[in-house]
Amino acid sequence: MTNLMELYKCEICGNIVEVVYPGYGTLVCCSQPMVKMDEHTNDDAAQEKHVPILTINDNEKIIRVGSLPHPMEPEHYVMFIEAISHDKVWMKRKYLKPGDEPSLKFGDDGDKMIVRELCNLHGLWSKNYD
């Protein structure tokens, strides 16, 4: 069974799909099953450049990728950054390309959320903020 907001990747062509409604069955691309992208956390290697960090200043929230700056070069970059409420009622997402600053700014939408980022080389990273 798939779950809401899970990401799956085709190991042949590189397509990435997101589940917008949970269901049964297998997601298939290029005639083979897609692979679920597991979320890495701050317990994994390379965390200093990949774990998204949430900062709150007055009524503005800022998500930055890593405690050390993440590269934003054509061969290694952050594809998107997002914040998802714990009840999955709202989501803020910013798509990025090489050369962009790997950050997302948004207003006061509550304090309980999961923040995620997708690195083109090192996959999906997340951090839970309760």
Round to the nearest angstrom and report the end-to-end CA distance of the chain.
Answer: 26
Q: Residue 58 falls within a domain, yes or no?
A: yes
Q: Are residues 70 and 106 in the same domain?
A: yes
Give me the domain span that covers residue 56. Answer: 39-129
Residues 11-25: tens digit of each pLDDT: 999 999 999 999 999
Report the number of distinct structural domains present in the chain. Answer: 2
Per-residue pLDDT at 44 exceeds 60: no
Instruction: Confirm whether 121 is domain-assigned.
Output: yes
Q: Is residue 25 part of a domain?
A: yes
Q: Once rounded to an integer, what is the mean pLDDT over residues 65-75? A: 91
Cα separation, 32 vs 86, whole angstroms: 32
Eight-state DSSP code of residue 49: G
Assess if residue 98 is contained within a domain.
yes
* Co-location of 25 and 69 in the same domain: no
d(C-alpha 83, C-alpha 119), whole Å: 15
Same domain, 32 and 43: no
63 lies in the same domain as 74: yes
Residue 52 DSSP SS3: strand
* 86 CA to centre of own chain: 15
